[in-house]
Chain A
């Protein structure tokens, strides 16, 4: 690995990000594309896009930045694949185990419950969940997400709406009434 990525002094933020997460990025890309050259291209593409919005990253060595980097690489790889698997239908929600209805406050305070919801999103609505995370966790604008993932702003808005729609259905199934 070139010294510029190892040597902390004089290293910029971009070099720091790449030096820290190059393995995460390359392995994620390779696991989807199964081709080293294609994976290289995808990682470089991701780095270029990350650099355009480098100011959005304040702390390099944190979970949020690591997830951000992985999400970008993964979405670029999925876009590169032609005829990749269509995401599971939004309606095909797994049956919830019978449980007592919980109030929104109890739902929101229950970390375990949040993790279950997150895992549900992870399993069924990957492209939409990624955008939801970029929007509300990484706090990017529609325009920034559009540029990072190489999709139209309209597409970003649609995916966000669909992700929120999935959440609505989850809440309804939890017994929460939406006005």
Chain B
């Protein structure tokens, strides 16, 4: 019979309960020895550095536990917030699609927002420093950003109408003009996709035809006109950047 099997046989004889009792007696003997040691080393002082090290270790454990508890709390709040958000979304969807008027308005808002967002992402703009490029006596408006790829070509004025021309080096031009509110403008909208637009709180219309976008808007004093080969979102962004020199 091998040693291992013999030991296992011992264990079946002296079951674990008896080994526990044996351990208990051993502990008594061990601690009696320890008490003797404590008497022998009664004058031995425990270094403060040891207490400090253990206190520092304990502090690190506490901070780690506190961080873990905060993360669990944030995660729990995050999950609850997600549940609330999903619930609200489902409720909104249920309400939206059960009330026709609300549905139409809601969907139009989504379409407008997504178009605006996706359009801006497609064609970037770049800044235009009108104060440096325009004549010193240009006491009028100019766009502070223009569609990417365009640069200042020239500025002109006749009577009360101010024009700024930008070009992209490929033969295409972007035109910005400012006219008095009393001026008459003709806009070719036949076959064009025309819609209302608001530029910085001012009413306007935007027309898309044959790859060209025309944007006209006005306040009480002026009519602003912007036309060029840029897409709708870039033109709107250009229009919204218009400011006085």
The answer on a CB contact under 8 Å between A161 and B22 is: no
The answer on a CB contact under 8 Å between B29 and A115 is: yes
The answer on a CB contact under 8 Å between A133 and B23 is: yes
Task: Give 1 or 0 for each of B6-37: 1 = CB within 8 Å of chain A CB.
Answer: 11011101101011111111111111011001
What residue in chain B is nearest A137 (Cβ atoms)?
Answer: B23
B220 within 8 A of A: no
Task: Please tell me the size bucket of the interface on A.
Answer: 35 or more
The answer on a CB contact under 8 Å between B3 and A161 is: yes
A67-B31 in contact given A2-B51, A4-B58 (Cβ < 8 Å): yes
Partner of A28, one of B24, B28, B34, B51: B34
A102 within 8 A of B: no
Task: Please tell me the size bucket of the interface on B.
Answer: 35 or more
The answer on a CB contact under 8 Å between B22 and A118 is: yes
> How far, in whole Å, are A118 and B29 apart by their CA atoms in the complex?
7
B61 within 8 A of A: yes
B46 within 8 A of A: yes
The answer on a CB contact under 8 Å between A167 and B25 is: no
Main secondary structure of the interface of B (DSSP, over half): helix
A53 within 8 A of B: no
B55 within 8 A of A: yes
B47 within 8 A of A: yes
Chain A interface (Cβ < 8 Å from any Cβ of B): 1-2, 4-5, 12, 14-15, 18, 22-24, 26-28, 30-31, 36, 40, 43-44, 47-48, 51, 63-64, 66-67, 70-71, 104, 108, 111, 114-115, 117-119, 121-122, 129, 132-133, 136-139, 161, 164-165, 167-168, 171, 176, 178-179
Chain B interface (Cβ < 8 Å from any Cβ of A): 3-4, 6-7, 9-11, 13-14, 16, 18-31, 33-34, 37-38, 40-41, 44, 46-47, 49-55, 57-58, 61-62
18 chain-A/chain-B pairs, Cβ below 8 angstroms: A4-B58, A5-B51, A5-B55, A15-B58, A47-B57, A64-B24, A67-B26, A104-B14, A111-B25, A115-B28, A118-B28, A122-B26, A132-B22, A132-B26, A133-B23, A136-B23, A137-B20, A171-B14
- The 6 A-B residue pairs with the shortest CB-CB distance in the complex, in nearest-first order: A137-B23, A136-B19, A67-B27, A118-B25, A118-B26, A164-B7
